[in-house]
Amino acid sequence: MSRIAYVAGQYLPHRQAAVHIEDRGYQFADGVYEVLAVVGGHLVDEELHLTRLHRSLGELRIPAPMSNSALKVVMREVVRRNGVDRGIIYLQITRGQAPREHAFPKAAKPVFVATSRRTKPPDPKLGRDGIAVITIPDIRWQRCDIKSVSLLPNVLGKQAAREAGAYEAWQVDRNEQVTEGTSTNAWIVTADGAVVTRAADSAILSGVTRLAVLDIMRREGYRLDERPFTVAEAKAAREAFLTSTTADLLPIVRIDGEPVGDGKPGQLSVKLREAYLVHAGVAA
């Protein structure tokens, strides 16, 4: 089946799908995006993603390109036309096309692109054996709560992780506190069993997976502490894990080469991973 993309009102073969060179997404990274998981043709946590999309658009004063019900139709159509049972949908909305000038153009119309593709589920070995993270300075701007397409620090950070043989890089602020991964949220479990993750301030993206896991924890009565934690605290933690739409929930067993706890996936991480996979429809 050939791939089809939705671009500014049309469904086009992937090869022909393009935006203009003066699109402000290309010129200024002036746009926002979302990544949703598709499981069994179903869009995981669709409403939470749409709520966050509107929040990002609102913060940048980019008008929504269409109503939510129309967005849902496009998403379903892109999934259907690409025959995606298990995979992702990528949505991107930029401020539109205009001669390059920094201030907002008067007449630009937002440009909305949607793609969908099949993806292999994350390697079960990662869930079983756990993953490694490294720590790097957080060199991003002060509005990481906006899901902007401006991702250069994240790109450089992920590449640093790959080159170090790690899955993810945890970004660290000036106070030695972990903000988040380059495309994931960061969590630890303290020696006394409290699950700690940074509160959704402007230093992190409020992850939809993070919200779903918080919801599971509240329902099941876990001890939760939404506060920042330092790299030293993470290295001394009993467990650590990360969450995102594409990674689900993965236990972390090494930080900067040092074992977390006994160097094996922690009990709470494994339990929360199972509960999240049920929530996402991946496991029964």
When the beta carbons of 35 and 194 are compared against ligand PDD, the nearer one is: 35
H/E element, 167:
none
Q: Binding-site residue total for ligand PDD (CB under 6 A)?
A: 15
Q: Identify the residue among 27, 82, 185, 269 touching ligand PDD (CB under 6 A).
A: 185
Shortest CB 244 distance to ligand PDD, Å = 4
CB 53 within 8 A of CB 42: no
Rounded to whole angstroms, the Cα distance separating 247 from 91 reads 18
Closest CA to 9 of 63, 62, 73: 73
Subset of residues 8 to 37 that bind ligand PDD, contact rule: CB under 6 A: 35
Q: Identify the residue among 180, 229, 250, 276 touching ligand PDD (CB under 6 A).
A: 180
Residue 71 three-state SS: helix
Per-position x/- string for 130-169, each x denoting binding to ligand PDD as judged by CB under 6 A, each - no binding:
------------------------x---------------
Rounded to whole angstroms, the Cα distance separating 63 from 47 reads 18
Shortest CB 246 distance to ligand PDD, Å = 5
Active site annotation includes 72: no
Per-position x/- string for 189-228, each x denoting binding to ligand PDD as judged by CB under 6 A, each - no binding:
----------------x-xxxx------------------
Q: Can you state the angle between helices 208-220 and 46-60, rounded to 10 degrees?
A: 130
Rounded to whole angstroms, the Cα distance separating 172 from 158 reads 14
Residue 7 three-state SS: strand
Told to check if 179 binds ligand PDD by CB under 6 A, we report no
